[in-house]
Amino acid sequence: MQKRRLGKNGREISCLGYGAMSFTNFYGEANDDDSLAILAAALDEDVDHLDTSNVYGMGRSETVIGKFLSKQGKQKDKLFSIASKVGICRNAETGQRFYDNSESHIRSELEKTLQRLGVENIDLYYIHRRQAEIPIEAVTETMRTLVKEG
């Protein structure tokens, strides 16, 4: 598998990644056993980059990845480069989708993402959809601050 560097000083990751939205019922019925088998097969093929989001299955995708990582012992932090996204929300009562790029939402969702994944940090965190009412400079500053904080 060919590798590419993630950013200027980031780790090397597989040039192909796996998008884990399929761990939810978005494309059809999904179950954890199949999802865990997919993660194992990805590693067998040297695919070590995963893309997920807090909104995929309302956290289910991240939870499945976290379940897989929890079974890997001390090597869990070295197995995958993980990218996750934030910014799309869904009203629990109406199901209606909306966007939230506020600093408080981004921070809160990052903490939930880290808990579901069972890791202390992720390699790439970005805005899934932009909320037009919040200046992009403010969103960028929030993300920059999170990087500085580790």
Instruction: Show which residues are catalytic.
Output: 56
Backbone region of residue 44 per phi and psi (left: phi > 0; alpha: psi in -120 to 50; beta: other values)? alpha
Strand partners, 59: none
* Helices assigned H by DSSP within the chain: 32-44, 60-70, 76-79, 103-117, 136-149
Q: Are strands 97-99 and 88-90 parallel, antiparallel or unpaired?
A: antiparallel
